[in-house]
Structure 1
Amino acid sequence: MAVTATQQAQPQLVCLDSTFEELALEMAECLHITDDIKPLVEKSQKEEVLSKLVQSSAALNAVPEKDYTAASNLMTHLVLQSQDPRRHLPALCGNFAKPITTSPHNGVGLSLNALTTVFNLLPADNPIRARVFMEILKFLKRHGMFETLRPYLPHLEQWNETWGTDDEFQREMYEEISDIAAEAGFGEESYRYILKALRSFDSDDKEELSSEEAQNLAIRAIRTVLLSNSHYLFQDLRGIPCVEALSDSHPIYYQLLEIFAEQDLEDFSDFNEEHEGWLEKQDLDHDKLYRKMRLLTFASLAAATPSREIPYAKIVKALRIPEEEVEMWTIDTIRAGLVQGKLSQQRKVLLVHKVTYRVFGTKQWQELSTRVDNWKSTLSTVLDTLLQGRAEVKAQQERDAQDVERKVAQSSGAQSGRGGGGRYQGRQHKERSENAD
């Protein structure tokens, strides 16, 4: 499989000096059908020759390992000489997808190489490539080879645009990829491609949205996300038209999705009472869902607490747990990425630093508005305190300056008084001296 034309590996398939007839007879000999092919070759019945060779190509899975690549390459080269390769490629790819029996260890790899050789030899804009790619997907699915597929996933949209594939083909492709990812244990990747498949339905076609295919895929998406160990937000799923259509065709599934999207543990308990035994019939793990609902309820409690300080008692009541389990559930909620905060064991409160909103609607806007008003009030109080403190400091500075000026003035007056008395006494002494003379 190639990402771009410049990256395609062009295998050395055959000697280009050989004619089609010579190569066809060589292939017939490998498949042990020379007697059937020779008369057709002599009559220059090219398409009949290819049909016969492709029909017998299943025998390739019994050739020795060392000969398989050369034989499959030759077979591919011959088929691509057809006026209409689409007639032959599906059957050929189906036979290539059967690993050779002579190599238990390398058979899967050899088969994959044969399939990707077909893919790479086709022009990048050839629509036949799409069908070959689908055969490769089915092969990877059978053998659990998601890691082999992963590097090419970013190019799917470009390829589909180039090939001109329709919504139905793309939906089938996304479902196959989702299955491959799920079987390999990549739940988030699997869910992402289920969403892509769901979005391929025409949002304006109510009949298509309510079709059995659309509804089954929507239910599969809900089951996947509910049982996921890492997915806790559901808004992306709720906004898809064929999921919304479940409210009419499968109201219980839709009700359950709504509970996990924005309601709490009490609502989930009420659901179980109302639909007793339904989860078990649908093979949905009650304990797993109950645990997930507790984590989501914890997140909602944190989001709805303006003070961002949650007493242990509130957590106990909302999650229906004993107080000694509060710290454990707090840690689990933090690990799930729903809340960030710090426990104060002395005060028995959770100090919330950050919280993930499960849904952001009118109620959440109102809560945010309340919280902003609280912040404004707090900041206003802080500002008033700062301004008051600043005014008091300034007043004190002015009083201190006045005290300094007063002391300086008093000091200057005292010095002036001492200086004047000395001169007066000097004059008196002089006058007494003169009188004495």
Structure 2
Amino acid sequence: MLLIPDLCDVLEQNTAAELRSYLKAKGAEISEENSEGGLHIDLAQIIEVCDICLKEDDKDVESIMNSVVSLLLILEPDKQEPLIESLCEKLAKSREGESPTLRLQLLSNLFHGMDKSTPVRYTVYCALVKVAATCGGISYIPTDLDQVRKWISDWNLNSEKKHVLLRLLYEALVDSKRSDDAAKVMVELLGSYTDDNASHARLDAHKCIVRALKDPKTFLLDHLLALKPVKFLEGELIHDLLTIFVSAKLSSYVKFYQNNKDFIDSLGLSHEQNTEKMRLLTFMGMAVENKEISFDTMQQELQIGADDVEAFIIDAVKTKMVYCKIDQTQKKIIVSHSTHRTFGKQQWQQLYDILNSWKLNLSKVKNSLQSISEA
């Protein structure tokens, strides 16, 4: 009986042969004849030399490389992984004359074409983040932390791979000036360490603290103290500095700076910016405890002149961390609300009391309305 080859197999063989021919014409050291070992051998040889065409401005390059991706996606899963890793290594490298946009698009096609739970998707995503970081394209790839957490679970990543992924994502977000998103990723990274390996995250913890202090939009820092890698830094100057920004007053920072000026400079922090942030943090603490604050107290605690009080209050209100108004006649600040610098057991109790009070008041209103309705 005559056996007719499967049409799909014929198409795959023809595509592989065309890719070989194209790469050969571009100067690659590859045979134009398909191997006898099967498609995965052909693809291994094609991927080995495919970077020769990435520098080409030829409109066919994208089509050629997408053909490689398409063949990869139809391979048996057990043969995919080493080839995908090899292709990602090629595409993640930044070489002069190559288009990062094309490499980003190819990796994106590969990533979205794979089964969502395939572990090797981790390799593709890491390559995506690396390339996106080189061309300002991080906004074009998925970076939502909830989604990343789900992928980490779906791909069953070990601790080392999880840390690599989060660290790559953090650096890319920082480079893209997305400080809020970067901070969330760093907290996720540091929070994934345990007592056993917290010491390994020393550099990450140090970097996290410095960038949080440097960020002009970050004022609440107490959550960092609870992270195990940050706790590991207790007794060091960086931890002492963080503690000051979490709960101390401006005077404490000034004293710390006077004793450790070289250390502050070595961190790349601006003393002037630190002072301004500590003024606001000190005022937030004052505003939580006092609904009225005199100009004299403001000048003393914040180390500013009488003429600077009004300008300071305007800047403080702009941060939305404090809501207050100025009483020029009586020379005092009237506070309507201030964000707590730290949120511990005492603050949770206060919140519980407030919500419980609202609940009781709503119950009274409900009973009153029922009485009126029945009457």
Q: TM-score range by the shorter chain?
A: 0.7 to 0.9
Distance in 1 of aligned mates of 2:144 and 2:58: 28
| 2:46 is the alignment partner of 1:57 | no
Matches within 5 A, 1:124-273: 124-150=116-142, 153-202=145-194, 204-205=195-196, 208-211=197-200, 214-248=201-235, 251-273=236-258
Could you tell me how far apart the structure 2 residues matched to 1:126 and 1:362 are? 43
Q: C-alpha deviations, 1:349-394, integer Å up to 9, x for none?
A: 101111112124588799x7xxx9xxxxxxxxxxxxxxxxxxxxxx
Which amino acid counterpart does residue 276 of structure 1 have in structure 2? K
1:231 deviates by 1.1
Does residue 1:25 correspond to 2:17, yes or no?
yes
- Offset, 1:288: 0.7
Change (3 A) 1:28 1:99: farther
Show the 5 A alignment for 1:324-335: 324-335=307-318
Picking from 262, 265, 281, the partner of 1:296 is 281
Q: Is the 1:175–1:197 contact (alpha carbons within 8 Å) kept by the matching residues of 2?
A: yes
**Could you tell me how far 1:272 is from its partner in structure 2?**
1.5
Residue in structure 1 matching 2:83, options 80, 85, 88: 88
Structure 1 alignment gaps of length 5 or more: 1-14, 373-437
How far the C-alpha of 1:271 sits from its partner, in A, is 0.8
Note if contact 2:20-2:33 (Cα within 8 Å) is conserved in structure 1.
no
Is the CA contact 1:25–1:37 (under 8 Å) kept in the aligned structure 2? no
* CA contact 1:218–1:242 (8 Å) conserved in 2: yes
Q: Residue 100 of structure 1: CA displacement?
A: 9.6
Where 2:323 maps in the other structure, the secondary structure is strand
- In 1: Cα distance, 2:205 partner to 2:252 partner: 22
Whichever residue aligns with residue 278 of structure 1, its letter is F
Going from structure 1 to structure 2, the CA distance change for 1:16 and 1:62 (only over 3 Å counts) comes to farther
Q: Deviations over 1:202-258 (max 9, x none)?
A: 2x31xx1112xx01111111011111111111121111111111014xx10000001
* Residue among 261, 275, 282 paired with 1:276: 261
* DSSP 3-state at the match of 2:68: helix
Q: CA deviation at 1:273?
A: 2.3
Structure 2: segments with no counterpart, 5+ residues = 1-6, 355-375
> 2:271 corresponds to which residue?
286
Residue 219 of structure 1 aligns with an amino acid whose one-letter code is H
For 2:336 and 2:146, the matched residues in 1 are separated by: 36
Alpha-carbon distance between aligned partners in 2 of 1:87 and 1:200, rounded to the nearest angstrom: 28
For residue 61 of structure 1, what is the amino acid of its counterpart? Answer: L
Structure-1 separation of matches of 2:346 and 2:326: 27
Q: 2: CA distance between counterparts of 1:303 and 1:344?
A: 18
SS at match of 2:269: coil
Contact 1:99 1:111 in 2 (8 A): no
Contact kept? 1:63, 1:100, Cα under 8 Å: no
Deviation string for 1:287-327 (max 9, x for gaps)?
1101111111111122222xx11110000000111111011
Matched-pair contact (CA < 8 Å) for 1:168–1:200: no
Contact 2:88-2:107 at 8 Å conserved across structures: yes
What is the CA–CA distance in structure 2 between the aligned matches of 1:35 and 1:274, rounded to whole Å? 64
Distance 1:356 1:109 in 2: 43
SS at match of 1:84: helix
Q: CA deviation at 1:129?
A: 1.1
Distance 1:171 1:365 in 2: 32
1:26 deviates by 1.0
- Secondary structure (helix, strand or coil) at the match of 1:56 reads helix
Matched, 1:347 2:342: no
* Cα displacement (A) at 1:144: 1.7
RMSD over aligned CA atoms reads 2.8
Q: Which amino acid is 1:220 matched to?
A: K
> Is the contact between residue 119 and residue 155 of structure 2 (CA under 8 Å) also seen in structure 1?
yes
1:66 matched to 2:66? The reply is no
1:116 aligns with 2:111: no
Q: Counterparts in 2 of 1:377-416, with a 5 A limit?
A: none
| Letter matched to residue 316 of structure 1 | Q
Shift of 1:63: 3.8
Partner of 1:425: none
- Residue identity over aligned pairs, in percent, reads 22
Distance 2:16 2:126 in 1: 27
Cα separation, partners in 2 of 1:51 and 1:217, compared to 1, 3 Å:
same
- Give the TM-score, by structure 2 length: 0.83
Report the residue type matching 2:125 in the other structure.
F
- Say if 1:61 and 1:99, in contact at 8 Å, map to a contact too: no
Q: Is the 8 A contact 2:293 2:334 kept in 1?
A: yes
